Amino acid sequence: MADLSQKDWTKQLEEDNNSVVLDVRTQEEVDLGIIPNALHIDIYKGQGFIEEVEKLDKNKNYFIYCKAGGRSAQACAVMNQLGFEQTFNLVGGFSEWQGNIALNE
């Protein structure tokens, strides 16, 4: 797991053609906006989160965020334990995000 500032997270994401953006916030938070093309899996689902993550490709690089950076750091740690080698946590999370935002339809 790597904690990255928004600048580094965005730069690395733009240069990575094997990446997945993962939003681990609640549905209520996602309804307020989401980073475009992000996959949403709520970390508060507990075992459900693990089951959904297990279906993902472990060979991809995961750029993970939540509201402030705490839950996404947890998600990175869980995913690392499950065999995902490349996880990147967005420090400051969505609340400090300066990039584009999509409204969840």
Domain coordinates of the chain in residue numbers?
Answer: 2-96
Largest CA distance in the chain: 33
What span, in angstroms and rounded, lies between the C-alpha atoms of 42 and 49? 6
Q: Which of 21, 41, 53, 66 is catalytic?
A: 66
Which tens digit of pLDDT belongs to each residue from 8-22? Answer: 999 999 999 999 999
Q: What is the pLDDT of residues 31-62, one digit of tens each?
A: 999 999 999 999 999 999 999 999 999 999 99
Query: What does the pLDDT look like over 59-88, one tens digit per residue?
Result: 999 999 999 999 999 999 999 999 999 999
pTM (two decimals): 0.96
Q: Which residues contact 61 (CB under 8 A, 6 or more apart)?
A: 16, 18, 19, 20, 86, 87, 88
Q: What is the pLDDT of residue 57?
A: 98
Residue 77 φ/ψ, nearest 5 degrees: -65, -45
Question: Does the active-site annotation cover 76?
Answer: no
Give the domain 2-96 fold.
Oxidized Rhodanese; domain 1 (3.40.250)
